[in-house]
Chains A and B, each alone.
Chain A
Amino acid sequence: GENVEQHPSTLSVQEGDSAVIKCTYSDSASNYFPWYKQELGKGPQLIIDIRSNVGEKKDQRIAVTLNKTAKHFSLHITETQPEDSAVYFCAAISAGGSYIPTFGRGTSLIVHP
């Protein structure tokens, strides 16, 4: 089955800096890669996603890049703000499988004012 590795487990940055979270996946059939943000006491919320036919996608301060050959994808947050502090999860889904996401272990992002 699919295996998703996520790094780092904790990321601490100063407000205004950029933050990058990286994930690798094992199943070459995976073709959809969502990212979730989970704030304390809340459920995960989809913030951005990317399909395997696209190399990069951007939405304001967040962007996701995908390298299918290397089987890795990354979340980039620019101009970080304290409200970006949360746990971020990557996931991989295979259209040829059960359509159930395999999640990474999460990255706790702390943005210091």
Chain B
Amino acid sequence: SAVISQKPSRDICQRGTSLTIQCQVDSQVTMMFWYRQQPGQSLTLIATANQGSEATYESGFVIDKFPISRPNLTFSTLTVSNMSPEDSSIYLCSVEGEGAGEGYTFGSGTRLTVV
């Protein structure tokens, strides 16, 4: 399965600022996924990122707030913009396994605290 390096692992940010989270995969993948996990909660999909096209956002998430880049098949970034305390969460990137819909692998997550 793919190995994902995600950074930063944690950060404490001032409200109104932005944070960019990076994910590097050790193999080429078609789709990368970004999730938010609020404290004690399940995983909520933010968007799906394909290389060479705009990300597809889930209901409740917008590009202005969570811009995503996907410059190549091994790398993606998620920016959390104009942060407020409600954005305090764990953010995770994920990729599929070898078969469609199989064996999703996750990064180690970015624990974001907004003060």
Contacts and interface: CB of A to CB of B under 8 A. Distances in A.
The judgment on whether A and B are partners is: yes
Nearest to B33: A100
Interface string A94-112: 1100011101111000000
Interface in B62-115: 92, 96, 100-109, 111
Of residues B92, B101, B103, which shows the largest number of chain A Cβ atoms within 10 Å of its Cβ?
A: B101
B111 to A, nearest CB: 8
B42 A49 contact: no
Interface residues of B, number: 22
A103 B1 contact: no
B42 A32 contact: no
B107 A43 contact: yes
Q: What is the size category of the interface that chain A forms with chain B?
A: 20 to 34
A5 to B, nearest CB: 11
B12 interface: no
A95 B102 CA distance: 10
Contacts, number: 51
A62 B42 CA distance: 22
B29 interface: no
B42 A89 contact: yes
Given A99-B96, A100-B33, A100-B48, A44 B103 contact: no
A54 interface: no
Interface string B42-53: 110100100000
Contacts of B111: 41
24 contacts: A32-B102, A34-B102, A34-B103, A34-B104, A42-B108, A42-B109, A43-B4, A43-B6, A43-B106, A43-B107, A43-B108, A44-B43, A44-B92, A44-B106, A46-B1, A46-B103, A46-B104, A89-B42, A93-B101, A100-B33, A100-B45, A100-B48, A103-B42, A106-B41
